[in-house]
Amino acid sequence: MTEQTETKHEWPLWEVFYQPKDGKPFEHAGSVHAPDAEMALQNARDTYARRSEGIAFWVVPSDQIVASAPEDAGPFFDPANDKPYRHPQFYSVPRAVKKRK
Amino acid sequence: MSTFDTIPSTKKDALVEMLLRLADDRLILGHRLSEWAGHGPELEEDLALANAALDMIGHASSLYGYAAELEGKADEDHYAYFRDDIDFKNIAMMEPPRGDFAYTIARLFLFSVYSYLLYRELTEHVDDEQFRGMLNKHFKEIQYHFRHSREWVLRLGDGTEESHRRMQDAFDELWMYTGEMFEMDGAADAAVQHNLFTDVSSLKKEWLKLVGETLDEATITMPGDEQYMYSGARSGQHTEHLGRLLAEMQFLRRSYPDAEWK
């Protein structure tokens, strides 16, 4: 038992994406552990493809995904409502365009 | 068809016999695989083995269901729970305890290659619509078992010193059970005559080729054929392991025949 614990390394984590239908964007399904890409696909199949979720898989090593940090949420995502010049609502719209709406 | 090996005289008898042979292989192996639930080396592999077990038991269930319909039995449970070991028609390879992970993978691999070749033939040639429909449905899952177990044979065989040794040991131990997959007998001949089965002895050459290629890539030495080969399980001469397996699998149903899920 001790010998096993010493030599045991956890498999890398992979993010799994599936395509629900042809032409649809891939959606995140979850993650799996796997020693390599082929086994990650196998594990994705066993973990996320048993209830006809989709037609294709992507697996990506989790550490290859570059993510924004939670503390970046402000600068990245806050709407710029206090900067009206970013919104084009001051342009006068020609009457013909309004009519066609 | 019952306890002793007799040759089926009608097309229906031949069909029932083949349904039970296919189903018994899958039920017993499925049971052995199910023993891994909660013991898999990783959560993901635990799921994979449980899925394979469910696939096998599912295949058995539909094959038994059809046999029950043909024979006028109440349902598929008759075959799974109320037959003694001498009536089971599975090959002996399914019977030994689950062993280590390498043994489990080697057994699944050897059987999946065989099932792949067998189903490829049967789905082409079986002259019974309902039977062929089942085979087609199961074939997809068999291809997956083949692929999954093959990937593991490659990784364990060509892995660490210990995984290589365990994989080699597993194939060496299992080899004597592989002969039964390719045996023909009177019942199988009768089924072939009714276009319900294929001459399994003709599958051996390609099976050896497919297994050999994978073992070669996995740096495993393929065991030789010039050794003792187990025989007779299909006609009731089982190993000591089957009785124990059935005792565990059947006890609840036999002790409480009317038990129901509430």
Q: Does B147 touch chain A (CB under 8 A)?
A: yes
* Residues facing residue A61 across a β-bridge: A14
Count of CB atoms within 10 A of residue B220's CB? Answer: 23
Residue the block writes with tokens 């349902």:
B75
Output the tens digit of pLDDT for each of chain B's 262 residues: 445 557 888 999 999 999 999 999 999 999 999 999 999 888 889 999 999 999 999 999 999 999 999 999 988 999 999 999 999 999 999 999 999 999 999 999 999 999 999 999 999 999 999 999 999 999 999 999 999 999 999 999 999 999 999 999 999 999 999 999 999 999 999 999 999 999 999 999 999 999 999 999 999 999 988 899 999 999 999 999 999 999 999 999 899 888 887 7
Nearest-Cα distance to chain B for A58, in Å, is 17
Domains of chain A, start order: 13-94 (3.10.20.520)
Domains of chain B, start order: 11-255 (1.20.1260.10)
User: Residue B261, exposed/middle/buried by CB under 10 A (0-12, 13-18, 19+)?
Assistant: exposed
- pTM higher than 0.90 for the full model? no
Per-residue b/e over B112-140, b at no fewer than 16 CB within 10 Å?
A: bbbbbbbbbbbbeebebeebbebbeebbe
Which residues on chain A are in Cβ contact (under 8 Å) with B44? 32-34, 43, 46-47
- The full length of chain A comes to 101
Distance separating alpha carbons of residues A52 and A76, to the nearest angstrom:
36
Distance separating alpha carbons of residues A42 and A33, to the nearest angstrom:
11
For every residue of B160-176, DSSP letters joined together read -HHHHHHHHHHHHHHGG
The partner residue sitting opposite A46, judged by closest CB among B47, B155, B160, is: B47
Could you tell me if the ipTM is greater than 0.85?
no
Helices vs. strands in chain A: H and E counts, helices first: 4, 3
